[in-house]
Amino acid sequence: MFFQRALTLLPLIAAPALAAAAHDARQETSSASAAGSASAPAGTSSAAAGAASGASSAAGSAAGSGITSGAATLATTYTFSLLSSNPTAVPLSSINAAAATESTIPLPSTASPGATASYLSNGPALPQASIVPSNYPTMDKVPPTDSDQVKQWIQEVKDTGIDIPDISQTVEGGCPSNVEAAKNESNCWWTCSGCTRDTDIVACPDKYTWGLTYDDGPSYYTPNLLKYLDEQQIKSTFFVVGSRVISFPQTLQEEFMSGHQVAVHTWSHPYLTTLTNEQIIAELGWTRQAIRDVIGVSPSMMRPPYGDIDDRVRKISLALGMTPVMWTRISQTATFDTGDFDVHAGINTVQDSLQNWQNILGNASEIDTGFIVLEHDLFQQTVDIATGYILPDAIAHKDPSFTIEPVITCLNKPLADAYVETNDNDTNPPVVSGSAATALSSGAPGSAQATGGSKGEDDNNGAAALRTGATLTALLAVAGCFLTGLSMLGL
């Protein structure tokens, strides 16, 4: 399996700034709209014309670098140019926070209980898609830790013999609210240092190979994405939220039976480093349980919400049989995140997201590996951006062309290895340890609670991060109730 490899930290084109990353930084400051500059490639200097004037001097010091990144304020001009778009794409002018609700489509197909996935020779029969919500914790809330089920998972972690580091919980509010934790490099906290361990999956090994991922579903809009992926014969990895799994079990079954990879993205989407060990176990355990109840197998990979992970979270994940998967991040400010999530909230524009995509393409040509990109299928805006613009543009690239596939496949592993029950333990033994670390500069943009941006933001960044973290939790809860209601109505 391909894990973190040492990457040279390349010079930056502009002063460090936070992009409004979907699951990176939740900022309510003006720089949150500067998503177009999160990972700008070479050849996009004209974009700086509409950015902060301070970027120009920093750009001069980074001359000759192919990997560049952004200004501290909203760019007023964009340099992206798409090779192709979907003829039926929603117009860019209609993809925004005020977008009218679009019609969705039925699932491309519906598998029958007892069916088996054709790509899994040793896969179990598909369970019934019916779910009894009362058998699970309250949706979009951190599950209680005193249930017999959670106690069993706690014992499971203990029985592995994996030593869980005694690392204190963080508090929401970002690096300014966790000064000591941010300074302690030994904890390998991705949020403030960009640190990863050799057990983290951060890229695909082969150049121009794209590990396609979508977070936060299944949702009311996922069938639209599945239809397009099916038409283009593309498979993806879906990092699913447990609360959404029990809301849309048939959608998850369709993902699984169609050959997409299913992986864990927690039960309620919290900052995992803020939780106790027992709460982390409950978050991961209940999501794993819900997935297994719906598709019959348990994922061997997980992605921490907001990328918020340290060695404590890592070891608990590994003890539960889940390898952490991040998205590619090659310097302090260059992160492979489209920023699509924040279009729904009005923090980013669709143009910001497409500029991010253009920047990702530029940076993909500068690294000697493939890459993993962060996208989402929770909202219609994120699906519209993916099916209307990003995927068609990627498909149109022929020189070079991209190999687009699930994370497990981009690691040159069979899809069977994506699940505990079907994994070949002889050729792909479970990952249970790891120590080698690679760290970026502290306070790196693209992190869950990182600091940065313009001078005016620094004084209140922690408070802004706390507010936005709470806002996202509320947003997901509201979205969950709305989507569940539609699902129960058969819509």
pLDDT digits (tens, 9 = 90+) for 113-165: 999 999 998 899 999 989 999 999 999 999 999 999 999 999 999 999 999 99
Would you say residue 272 has pLDDT above 70? yes
What one-character DSSP code corresponds to residue 73?
Answer: S
Cα–Cα distance measured from residue 97 to residue 91, given in angstroms and rounded to the nearest whole number: 14
73 pLDDT tier (thresholds 50, 70, 90): very low
Find all residues with CB under 8 Å of 448, minimum gap 6, and list them: 23, 24, 25, 190, 191, 271, 304, 305, 306, 307, 308
pLDDT at residue 186 in the model: 96
pLDDT at residue 331 in the model: 83
Cα–Cα distance measured from residue 237 to residue 259, given in angstroms and rounded to the nearest whole number: 9
Phi, psi at 219, each rounded to 5°: -140, 180
Taking each helix axis as running N to C, give the angle between helix 249-257 and helix 277-295, from 0 to 180 degrees, rounded to the nearest 10. Answer: 70
Give the residue-averaged pLDDT of 184-196: 93
Cα–Cα distance measured from residue 230 to residue 276, given in angstroms and rounded to the nearest whole number: 40
Cα–Cα distance measured from residue 26 to residue 13, given in angstroms and rounded to the nearest whole number: 23
Q: What percent of the chain has pLDDT over 70?
A: 72
pLDDT at residue 476 in the model: 55
**pLDDT tens, residue by residue, 370-392:** 999 999 999 999 999 999 999 99
For the record, the structure tokens of 279 come out as: 């709460």
Would you say residue 4 has pLDDT above 50? no
Find all residues with CB under 8 Å of 231, minimum gap 6, and list them: none
Query: Which residue do the tokens 């998972």 mark?
Result: 153
**pLDDT tens, residue by residue, 298-313:** 999 999 999 999 999 9
Q: Catalytic one among 24, 376, 377, 393?
A: 376
Whether 301 and 407 have beta carbons less than 8 Å apart is answered as yes
For the record, the structure tokens of 14 come out as: 């502009």
Give the residue-averaged pLDDT of 93-110: 93
pLDDT at residue 163 in the model: 96
Q: Catalytic one among 24, 140, 200, 215?
A: 215
Give the residue-averaged pLDDT of 201-221: 98
Cα–Cα distance measured from residue 12 to residue 313, given in angstroms and rounded to the nearest whole number: 30
3-state class (DSSP) for residue 383? helix
pLDDT at residue 427 in the model: 86
Cα–Cα distance measured from residue 66 to residue 150, given in angstroms and rounded to the nearest whole number: 48
For the record, the structure tokens of 43 come out as: 């050849």
Cα–Cα distance measured from residue 5 to residue 206, given in angstroms and rounded to the nearest whole number: 13
Give the residue-averaged pLDDT of 310-317: 98
**pLDDT tens, residue by residue, 402-441:** 999 999 999 999 999 999 999 998 888 887 655 667 655 3
Closest to 302 measured CA to CA, from 438, 201, 173: 201
What one-character DSSP code corresponds to residue 51?
Answer: S
pLDDT at residue 455 in the model: 28
- For 300-366, list the strands marked E by DSSP: 301-302, 323-324
DSSP string, 26-38: ---SGGGG-GGGT
Domain 1-88+104-491 in CATH 3.20.20.370: yes
pLDDT at residue 310 in the model: 98
**pLDDT tens, residue by residue, 33-44:** 333 333 333 333
Find all residues with CB under 8 Å of 232, minimum gap 6, and list them: 391, 395
Burial 475-490 (b: 16+ CB within 10 A, else e): bbbebbeebbeebeee
pLDDT at residue 461 in the model: 31
Q: 214 vs 70, which has greater pLDDT?
A: 214
Would you say residue 239 has pLDDT above 90? yes
Cα–Cα distance measured from residue 199 to residue 311, given in angstroms and rounded to the nearest whole number: 11
77 pLDDT tier (thresholds 50, 70, 90): confident
Whether 348 and 290 have beta carbons less than 8 Å apart is answered as no
Closest to 377 measured CA to CA, from 344, 350, 403: 344
How far from 474 is each of 139, 447, 477, 481, CA to CA, in Å? Answer: 12, 20, 5, 11
Mean pLDDT across the chain, nearest whole number? 80
215 in active site: yes
Give the residue-averaged pLDDT of 304-329: 98
Give the residue-averaged pLDDT of 242-254: 98
Q: What percent of the chain has pLDDT over 90?
A: 66
CA 31 to chain CA mean position, Å:
21
pLDDT at residue 53 in the model: 29
Burial 217-234 (b: 16+ CB within 10 A, else e): bbbbbbbbbbbbbbeeeb
445 pLDDT tier (thresholds 50, 70, 90): very low
What residue spans define the domains of the chain? 1-88+104-491
Cα–Cα distance measured from residue 440 to residue 307, given in angstroms and rounded to the nearest whole number: 14
Phi, psi at 337, each rounded to 5°: -130, 125
174 pLDDT tier (thresholds 50, 70, 90): confident
Would you say residue 204 has pLDDT above 50? yes
Closest to 215 measured CA to CA, from 420, 377, 323: 377
Determine if the peptide bond prior to 218 is cis (ω within 30°).
yes
